[in-house]
Chain A
């Protein structure tokens, strides 16, 4: 891993192996170095925001590079089971592109054990890793202007549940009535980074 400068108040830890992101996140969350104010995981990186009055880049980088990314497991999060009705408008197209039947797509998606890697794009939009490589397909060439809330979708190496209705370019394979995002709930996001997820029809 490398620690890159990110302005005067943050450092970005860049990993070759994306599976290390959650390991370092867990380690820094459970025992934060001095001055750390926020950790933001993403696909191959962990942003570490710090208080420049309490630490500086080089000192923080030293503390980070001393950490193991494998010794601390992400905090025990309950496994979330997401009930899905696999009737998405892109299911047939996904099946054709993956060279298998729609039933096989559903079976492979259901068989996966997923981990929420990071959130982005919109509040509560969690990128879930663990998708069967046979289902790794690019986004739609033309994004939809409106994807309904609860849509279960795939794109690249990720699967996700759209937390709100929004524009979107992912391929829609199903939908769930489980509210993955609710600002009145604590925590508002069911699929926080590190959470394990299964889909079931």
Chain B
């Protein structure tokens, strides 16, 4: 169970604002984690806490394929991201590295900043504990569920290569 305080963002949050280009040559997630969402709110890394949940509008993570964007969010400890839709490269990257993402238009519309939300990844059930409302995220196709259950692409490839 993932449980955290909500930070809200609008539509079309792009990877340039999630992790600006100046940090692109840094590949150590811990090094980039403090700068997440810097392009929208330079203080976000100071205000947010590990475990917090991001609820955003449509097309979250559009633009550049930089993995420092989902990588930074995961390294910071963002518990989950809820949005009506995700940009496709961001969605792949998030699943590959094990950053929990859920597509749920109703939850994304209703949930307010500061609410405390609980998320069950296995079932896609989202509970807004502040309002008492519950939501059901769109299930990912079985292929993606397997990848998520395997813990992302690294364990999946290790298994395929027969690496212990």
Do A and B form a real pair? no
